[in-house]
A and B are shown apart, each in its own frame.
Chain A
Amino acid sequence: AQSVTQLDSHVSVSEGTPVLLRCNYSSSYSPSLFWYVQHPNKGLQLLLKYTSAATLVKGINGFEAEFKKSETSFHLTKPSAHMSDAAEYFCVVSDTSYDKVIFGPGTSLSVIP
């Protein structure tokens, strides 16, 4: 069965500094992995997805994530945080091609001016 761990419930960074949001997963198969962002009182926006192609995945708004099978990790990074990046971030895993997805508990990102 799949599961997702997001090691930090809250991350705070200064504007212009790098962002690292950590995600580890458990999956029986070759998983599909996603990162979603949710701004306050808004819906879920897909940042990027990994589906067994390149292990380094580039997404929107300068975010990227690297799939490391040996570490069962899919950490999200961004070189320079912007105030508008403040939001909740969810790491999501899916075992099969058309199965339900499992959400991690989320990481709240704060960006300090």
Chain B
Amino acid sequence: EPEVTQTPSHQVTQMGQEVILRCVPISNHLYFYWYRQILGQKVEFLVSFYNNEISEKSEIFDDQFSVERPDGSNFTLKIRSTKLEDSAMYFCASSDQNNYGYTFGSGTRLTVV
């Protein structure tokens, strides 16, 4: 079964540093998403992306965050200047037009120290 691949599985970064989380969505999917789960809390929507632009973003997704699809296969989330409270599990997801194939990656655990 097709998978959404995320790398790295775990990243440790110093506060104030830039970090890029990488995702390879399922190849024929057109809609891409990032979600975040702070330890012990529920999964929260960050941003959705379609046709090379952001289609929706949450209030969490402030100017420190950006997303990009630099080529035909990767989908990245960049945090410009990480804060301690950015420590969380970040999940990438992709879907087809009918949501039948809404699939999450295994996540990247980001630890900001």
Partners in one complex: yes
With an 8 A cutoff between CB atoms, is A51 at the interface?
Answer: yes
Contact in complex: B43, A51 (CB < 8 Å): no
> Closest chain A residue to B43 by CB distance?
A103
With an 8 A cutoff between CB atoms, is B75 at the interface?
Answer: no
Which stretch from B19-27, B78-86, B95-103 is at the chain A interface? B95-103
Annotate A69-113 by CB proximity to B: 1 below 8 A, 0 otherwise. Answer: 000000000000000000000100010111111111110000000
Contact in complex: B42, A94 (CB < 8 Å): no
The B interface is mostly helix, strand or loop, or mixed, namely strand
Contact in complex: B102, A94 (CB < 8 Å): yes
Contact in complex: A42, B106 (CB < 8 Å): yes
A interface, size bucket: 20 to 34
With an 8 A cutoff between CB atoms, is A63 at the interface?
Answer: no
Given A43-B91, A44-B43, A106-B42, A97 and B97 contact (CB-CB distance below 8 Å): yes
Interface residues on chain B, number (Cβ under 8 Å): 27
Q: Specify which of B45, B50, B107 is in contact with A44 (CB 8 Å cutoff).
A: B107
Within 8 A of A (CB), among B26-46: 30-31, 33, 35, 42-45
Given A101-B45, A105-B42, A46 and B99 contact (CB-CB distance below 8 Å): no
* CB-defined A-B contacts under 8 Å, sample of 10: A32-B102, A41-B109, A42-B106, A43-B105, A44-B107, A97-B99, A98-B96, A100-B56, A101-B102, A103-B43
B residues apposed to A, CB below 8 Å = 30-31, 33, 35, 42-45, 48, 50, 56, 89, 91, 93, 95-100, 102-107, 109
